[in-house]
Structure 1
Amino acid sequence: MSDVNTTAGFTPYLEDVSRRTDLVEWGVQSDPLEGVSRSSGRLLFKGPDNRPETGLWVCTPGRWRLSIPRDELCHFLAGRATYRNDDGEVIEVYPNTLVLFPAGWTGECDVRETLRNVYMLV
């Protein structure tokens, strides 16, 4: 498996993201509502001022509040969860779901099976 290569002139990449195990512990999800959901992952790239930020995110079961600061594209590779917007919208995610959360999206996430997600925050 390749480490992220961010040297100028090279394209950053991660191999085998659906089974990759060399994850970095990112900590407990903030603002918990139920359970202790832990995040880990691998950063692929961060640009100036963290724009864009992209990588692999893995999250264990639990439920928490969230507010998405910038547009975030998520391709869920594994797991099951429900995202509930404060306006009443419900998004069920499962393997092979693609979601674009708009900047300012607020609500909660209820992870029932560990999520594995490739994301880009812009």
Structure 2
Amino acid sequence: MTHALLRINPSAEAPAATAINPERVLSGAPKEIIENLFTNAKENFFCGVWSSTEGKWTLNYTEDEFCYLIRGKAILTDAQGVAEEINAGDAFVIPAGYQGTWETIGDAQKFYAIYEEA
């Protein structure tokens, strides 16, 4: 295992986009790209770059996730109906237990860091 600094940047050659599980999709036909660039030795901390095309789908978080939206716009709406607009340059946390929806307006991309209890 290396102990060197690891820079997290979007790749010019990202993996292919995959469809978000149709059972979760509420509108559109969103696709996502997940570039996981680091996993710790305990395999409970992950970080990288995520992007998606336009659409809306349900969320049910079991993990804590820190996000920084690199580009685009999204609307997160919690189970109580409280909507938060997220724009490029915004940093936010989605805590474990969060339920609601994610709606990408156009295309969006974010840095993410996820921690999940073992």
Q: TM-score, normalised by structure 1?
A: 0.83
Query: In structure 1, the residue corresponding to 2:2 is in which secondary structure?
Result: coil
1:53-95 CA distances to partner (integer Å, 9 max, x unpaired)?
1000011101111111111000001011111000222110111
Specify which structure has the bigger relative contact order, considering alpha-carbon pairs within 8 angstroms and separated by 6 or more residues: 2
Alignment of 1:26-105 (within 5 A): 27-30=18-21, 31-105=24-98
CA distance in 1, matches of 2:102, 2:92: 13
Structure 1 vs Structure 2 CA RMSD:
1.6
Residue correspondences, number: 113
Q: Which blocks of at least 5 consecutive residues in structure 2 are unaligned?
A: none
Alignment of 1:11-22 (within 5 A): 11-15=5-9, 17=10, 20-22=11-13
CA distance in 2, matches of 1:100, 1:46: 19
Identical aligned residues as a percent: 19
